[in-house]
Amino acid sequence: MNFKNLKLSILSAFIFFVIASNNIGAQDRIKFSPDGVIASANDTFEVNIVLDSGVVDLFAYSVHLKYDSTILRIIDSYPTDEWSALSNLSSYFIGADSLEINPLNNQPNWYYHIFDILFTNPKKTVDGYFEVSTVKFVALQTGISPLYYEFYKGTDTLLQSVLSSSGDAVVYVCPLPTEPGDSNNDGAVDISDLVWIVDFIFTGGSAPLPNLLSGDMNCDASVDITDLVWIVDFIFTGGPPGCEPCL
């Protein structure tokens, strides 16, 4: 068996695992709404941090939000401490907001947000769907940025965990700079791109060209096994081409 066939055999073994794994997953309990945003450079937009309907007895929560600071910048968030003190949320939450600064470039790239339900007697909790805060972004340049919780925690009044999983979102700032799937930047999506992605994921090969986005078939702002499954489906079984959210 030559090296290319060996790579494809390894890929085939993983496809079954990925498809099976996609059918098994915990329900998101703290997530984003909307979970997909399409914008252009210089646009502003808002994303809500929400609890889903399965949350029961939430007493306190905290999240650490990660995004690509070269593509997005946070310009506002609410409720702030002052806002919540004047709203009906004051009977449920006190809060603190801050931007963290990346020491490497002195730019904000993290948003930290924490709310604690007030220690009232009897203690109050939140159950079911709830929009707990809103973050306002500006799009700096074209590209794809993920939004995800690098850290999250939710507890009940006994400080036991009540959030079983966290959600993520994707922001597309159009037009996207490259065609999804054309990993070697030769103007076509074919088996050479599949081999390129296999090399990148499994053997430490070169990243897709001209940037990582050209290997991102499903537009989730990463290049992983799910993109391999997509490109195999496209090349060998007539599946759909890479996603094009800007069209």
Q: Read off the pLDDT of residues 179-229 as tens digits, 9 standing for 90 and up.
A: 788 888 888 888 898 889 888 888 888 888 877 778 888 877 778 888 888
User: Is the predicted pLDDT of residue 91 greater than 60, yes or no?
Assistant: no
- pLDDT at position 58 is 83
11 vs 245: CA distance, rounded Å: 27
123 vs 156: CA distance, rounded Å: 10
The conformational region for residue 106 under phi > 0 = left, psi -120 to 50 = alpha, else beta, is left
Provide the whole-model pTM: 0.71
Task: Please report which confidence band the pLDDT of residue 68 belongs to, taking 50, 70 and 90 as the band edges.
Answer: confident
Instruction: Tell which CATH architecture fits domain 177-237.
Output: Orthogonal Bundle (1.10)
DSSP 8-state assignment for residue 90 = G
Pick from 52, 57, 60: nearest CA to 27: 52
- Farthest-apart Cα atoms in the chain, separation: 71
Residue of higher predicted confidence among 40 and 5: 40
Domain range summary for the chain, segments of one domain joined by +: 31-172, 177-237
Instruction: Tell which CATH architecture fits domain 31-172.
Output: Sandwich (2.60)
- C-beta separation of 39 from 170 below 8 A: no
User: Is the predicted pLDDT of residue 78 greater than 60, yes or no?
Assistant: yes
- pLDDT at position 99 is 53
Q: Read off the pLDDT of residues 133-192 as tens digits, 9 standing for 90 and up.
A: 888 899 999 888 888 887 788 888 888 888 878 888 889 899 876 778 888 888 888 889
Q: What tokens does 195 get?
A: 């081999």
Q: Read off the pLDDT of residues 97-110 as tens digits, 9 standing for 90 and up.
A: 455 555 565 655 54
- C-beta separation of 69 from 102 below 8 A: yes
Question: Percentage of residues in the chain with pLDDT exceeding 70?
Answer: 70
- C-beta separation of 207 from 173 below 8 A: no
Q: Read off the pLDDT of residues 5-35 as tens digits, 9 standing for 90 and up.
A: 555 555 555 554 444 444 444 567 888 999 8
Q: What tokens does 37 get?
A: 């945003």
